[in-house]
Chains A and B, each alone.
Chain A
Amino acid sequence: MSASLETIQLPHLPSSLAAHAALYKDVQNSSYLRQQLLSANTEFEYAFIDASMILSRAHALSAVFRAANDYLNGRLKSRNVHSEIVFSLSPTNNIADSFRKFGIADTTSRLLVVKISVTPDITHESVAAHLEQNVQGSQIPFDDATLSEISDVTKIKKAYKLGSLPSAAPNQTNGTPGNAKKQLELSVLGAISLRGAT
């Protein structure tokens, strides 16, 4: 079974703003993809995310929701809704820093790609075809089980300054591994939601 591009309709967002997401491993041409972003090639308007910085689907989707909501309200802080997704993952207001931490790097091998249908000509088929042509890697399912194998919990905790949270080891009184993971995920969702609140 091979995974393929998934089209996600987030609750409450207009159906015209569908999100398309695909997860890759063994990506060979990260440096090329990153270069396209830097040169602002409009063909490559994607959120290219370092998948090791993503805990779960909910983590990624909350950044997508925040970016889409800010887009709908005309409040984007970065160039477009796709760069805003990467920025939205960050708990801080520094855009460059958010790309360093959560965006694609030349060495990224596990890549999460998100594209939002901001215009009607961006469809599941068009995105799938374009990614097929341009991302050299193998697609894996965009689900919590796969993400939990990929994610670098130590780096994520550091990025969100959540080092004091219980680790996955059952050391807390009520700290089963599942609880620690859940608590980290919920803390991250809170940090994403509250970014920029002064």
Chain B
Amino acid sequence: MTEYTPPPLPPPFNTTTTPPTLIYQGAEAHLYKTTFLTPTTHAALKIRPSKPYRHPILDRRLTRARILQEARCLHKLVKEGVSVPAVLGLDWEGDARNSNSDSASGGGGGGGGGSWLAMEWVEGEVVRAVLERWERYVKDLQRTTGEGVVMDKEERKVRALMKKIGTAVGSLHKAGVIHGDLTTSNLILRPDSHGQAESGDAAAGASPSLEGEIVMIDFGLASQSSQDEDRAVDLYVLERAFGSSHPRAEGFFEEVLAGYRESYKGAGSALKRLEDVRMRGRKRSMIG
């Protein structure tokens, strides 16, 4: 097996003396951690490499449209005060000259050509990991001590977290944006800045902290819409994500909906629509 090498970075990151480190790779984009504007400002750099199997002109148009869509949504949400990573920098053309020469030579090599989006770095852990740790803790607790007062406390903590998630999604929908891929991996629990010292694994037996602010990330599939249908599907996708990944927390999903209901005026009708969506699934029935 040859070791995987990610596609070359678009300029100026191809010649940088502080190369970004790859932290996640998806089908459409690579996510790097780097610095931006100052050597101490951490940033997430999302790069959409060109896809060699697409026609170069189409490839550029799609990449450009998608990175701009994401950046526009984030920019709008920052202006509305929704907690999402802010856009720090952007290049939707990518390496125009490089991709031109690619198309001249008939595509193939899939050189740079990538456009990039630099975003504010969000400290903290994804809710998925936080909940998994919490679920392990609760499981151990039940085995060793059985039900009791401690469980009440744990239930209160997780209910509070779920409610915060609902409020965050509500503020997103209120601003007229649909996330498109709400899962617990796309929610980060950012510790309060006047932070408790990284408890983490230091106190392995202690009750895991569920304190902090919910920050939504990865707006790669986001769009602008204020329709109940789109909002309901967003909630439905999140509900299913809880159902499949967090069996012990799923029972408290009602708190997400409660937090959501209180967060903006149109929430009620979106929640009503959610009941329809639950009956038929995410895909809308096509009539006519």
Which residue in chain A gives the minimum CB-CB distance to B35? A11
Complex Cα–Cα for A14 and B79 (A): 32
Let me know if A12 and B90 touch, CB within 8 A. Answer: no
Which residue in chain B gives the minimum CB-CB distance to A178? B193
Instruction: Kindly identify which residue among A61, A75, A190, A191 contacts B74, using a CB–CB cutoff of 8 Å.
Output: A190
Is A3 at the interface (CB under 8 A from chain B)? no
Complex Cα–Cα for A128 and B143 (A): 71
Let me know if B15 and A14 touch, CB within 8 A. Answer: yes
**A64-72, A92-100, A101-109, A114-122 - interface stretch:** A64-72
Contact bitstring B6-42, A, C-beta under 8 A = 1, else 0: 0000011101111000000000000000111111010
CB distance from A192 to the nearest CB of B (A): 8
Complex Cα–Cα for A15 and B120 (A): 24
Contacts of A166 in B (CB 8 A): 81
Is A129 at the interface (CB under 8 A from chain B)? no
CB distance from B101 to the nearest CB of A (A): 13
Complex Cα–Cα for A12 and B118 (A): 12
Let me know if A186 and B78 touch, CB within 8 A. Answer: yes
Complex Cα–Cα for A162 and B74 (A): 15
**B92-100, B125-133, B157-165 - interface stretch:** B92-100
Let me know if B38 and A194 touch, CB within 8 A. Answer: no
Let me know if B37 and A62 touch, CB within 8 A. Answer: yes
Let me know if B120 and A186 touch, CB within 8 A. Answer: yes
Complex Cα–Cα for A76 and B92 (A): 15
Let me know if B37 and A194 touch, CB within 8 A. Answer: no
Let me know if A73 and B95 touch, CB within 8 A. Answer: yes
Complex Cα–Cα for A100 and B17 (A): 37
Is A13 at the interface (CB under 8 A from chain B)? yes
Let me know if A190 and B86 touch, CB within 8 A. Answer: yes
Let me know if A15 and B68 touch, CB within 8 A. Answer: no
Q: Inter-chain contact count A-B, CB under 8 Å?
A: 94
Which residue in chain A gives the minimum CB-CB distance to B37? A61
Let me know if B18 and A190 touch, CB within 8 A. Answer: no
Within 8 A of A (CB), among B190-242: none
CB distance from A190 to the nearest CB of B (A): 4
Let me know if B39 and A73 touch, CB within 8 A. Answer: no
Contacts of A191 in B (CB 8 A): 75
Instruction: Kindly identify which residue among B18, B34, B86 contacts A189, using a CB–CB cutoff of 8 Å.
Output: B86
Q: What is the total number of residues of chain B having a CB less than 8 Å from a CB of chain A?
A: 34
Is B281 at the interface (CB under 8 A from chain A)? no
Is B135 at the interface (CB under 8 A from chain A)? no
Which residue in chain A gives the minimum CB-CB distance to B118? A193
CB distance from A51 to the nearest CB of B (A): 18
Instruction: Kindly identify which residue among B38, B79, B90 contacts A187, using a CB–CB cutoff of 8 Å.
Output: B79
Let me know if A65 and B96 touch, CB within 8 A. Answer: no
Instruction: Kindly identify which residue among A14, A65, A75 contacts B37, using a CB–CB cutoff of 8 Å.
Output: A65
Complex Cα–Cα for A118 and B16 (A): 17
Within 8 A of B (CB), among A57-85: 57-58, 61-62, 65-66, 69, 72-75
Contacts of B90 in A (CB 8 A): 193-194, 197
Let me know if B17 and A15 touch, CB within 8 A. Answer: yes
Contact bitstring A1-32, B, C-beta under 8 A = 1, else 0: 00000000011111100000000000000000
Is A165 at the interface (CB under 8 A from chain B)? yes
CB distance from B17 to the nearest CB of A (A): 7
Q: Which of B34, B39, B71, B90 has the most CB of A within 10 A?
A: B90
Let me know if B11 and A189 touch, CB within 8 A. Answer: no
Contacts of A186 in B (CB 8 A): 78, 86-87, 120
Let me know if B37 and A11 touch, CB within 8 A. Answer: yes
User: Chain B: residues with CB nearer than 8 A to chain A?
Assistant: 11-13, 15-18, 34-39, 41, 68, 71-72, 74-75, 78-79, 81, 86-93, 95-97, 120
